[in-house]
Chains A and B, each alone.
Chain A
Amino acid sequence: MIRHGGIVLILLLAGCATTPSEPEEVAAERPAQTDTGPSEITDPLATAEVWLTNGAESDEVSRKVMPTMREPEIIRIYKTSAGYNALVADGAGDQTSALKLSMVLSEGAWTINDISRVESTLLWPTFELQNE
Chain B
Amino acid sequence: MRLSRLLIILVFVAASGALTNEVSAQETSLFAAAEAAVEADPTWSASNASFEGLAIAERVGDDHWVVEAIVRFDERHARWPLRLSGSEGTWNVAWKPEAAYTAGLRNMLISGTLSTTENSPSWSSQRRLPTLPVIVTRARQLTPFGEVADEAEGDTVQPIPSLVRHANRWVKEVLNGHPGPASVDFIVAGDVSWASFTRALYSVSMAGLYAVYVVGIDEANGDTSALQALSPVALSDKEPGLVVGMYALESGHGFRLAMKGEVASPSGCHEDMTFCSTSTKRFEKALGEALIEDTPGFTMFAAERAVTTQDAIRYLDSATFAVFNRMLLMGYIQR
Interface residues of A (CB under 8 A from B): 2, 4-18, 20, 39, 42-46, 73-81, 123-125, 127-132
Q: Which residues of B contact A125 (CB under 8 A)?
A: 179-180, 182
Decide: B232 and A12 in contact? CB cutoff 8 A.
yes
Residue B58, interface by CB 8 Å: yes
A125 to B181, CA, bound (A): 7
Decide: B331 and A79 in contact? CB cutoff 8 A.
no
Decide: B58 and A76 in contact? CB cutoff 8 A.
yes
A128 to B53, CA, bound (A): 19
Given A10-B331, A78-B57; A127-B233 close (CB under 8 Å): no
What are 8 A-B pairs at a CB distance below 8 A?
Answer: A7-B245, A14-B233, A45-B30, A75-B59, A78-B57, A79-B56, A79-B127, A124-B179
Residue B217, interface by CB 8 Å: no
Q: Which residues of A contact B202 (CB under 8 A)?
A: 12-13
Decide: B32 and A128 in contact? CB cutoff 8 A.
no
Residue B159, interface by CB 8 Å: yes
Q: Which residues of A contact B238 (CB under 8 A)?
A: 17
Chain A, Cβ-Cβ closest to B159: A12
Decide: B32 and A17 in contact? CB cutoff 8 A.
no
Decide: A8 and B333 in contact? CB cutoff 8 A.
yes
| B316 CB to nearest chain A CB (Å) | 16
A123 to B58, CA, bound (A): 10
| B279 CB to nearest chain A CB (Å) | 23
Decide: B31 and A42 in contact? CB cutoff 8 A.
yes
Count residues of B near A (Cβ-Cβ below 8 Å). Answer: 55
Encoded as 1 (CB less than 8 Å from any A CB) or 0, chain B from 42 to 78 comes to: 0000000000011111110000000000100000000
Chain A, Cβ-Cβ closest to B233: A15
Decide: A13 and B205 in contact? CB cutoff 8 A.
yes
Decide: B243 and A5 in contact? CB cutoff 8 A.
yes
Given A15-B205, A43-B30; A128-B129 close (CB under 8 Å): yes
| B192 CB to nearest chain A CB (Å) | 18
Decide: B127 and A127 in contact? CB cutoff 8 A.
yes
Decide: B233 and A123 in contact? CB cutoff 8 A.
no
Q: Which residues of B contact A80 (CB under 8 A)?
A: 127
Q: Which residues of A contact B127 (CB under 8 A)?
A: 78-80, 127-128, 130-132
Contacts A15-B231, A17-B234, A42-B31 aside, 7 further interface pairs with beta carbons under 8 A come to A5-B263, A9-B300, A15-B236, A75-B58, A78-B127, A79-B54, A127-B127
Smallest CB-CB A-B distances: 4 pairs: A124-B180, A5-B258, A15-B233, A43-B29
Chain B residues 248-275 with CB under 8 Å of chain A are: 256, 258, 261-263
Chain A, Cβ-Cβ closest to B53: A79
Query: Quick one: which of B205, B234, B256, B302 contacts A18, CB cutoff 8 A?
Result: B234
A16 to B228, CA, bound (A): 18
Decide: A78 and B256 in contact? CB cutoff 8 A.
no
Decide: A4 and B179 in contact? CB cutoff 8 A.
no
Q: Please tell me which stretch of B7-15, B206-214, B288-296 contacts chain A, meaning at least 4 of its Cβ atoms lie within 8 angstroms of it.
A: B206-214
Residue B306, interface by CB 8 Å: no
Residue B157, interface by CB 8 Å: yes
A46 to B222, CA, bound (A): 35
A80 to B261, CA, bound (A): 41
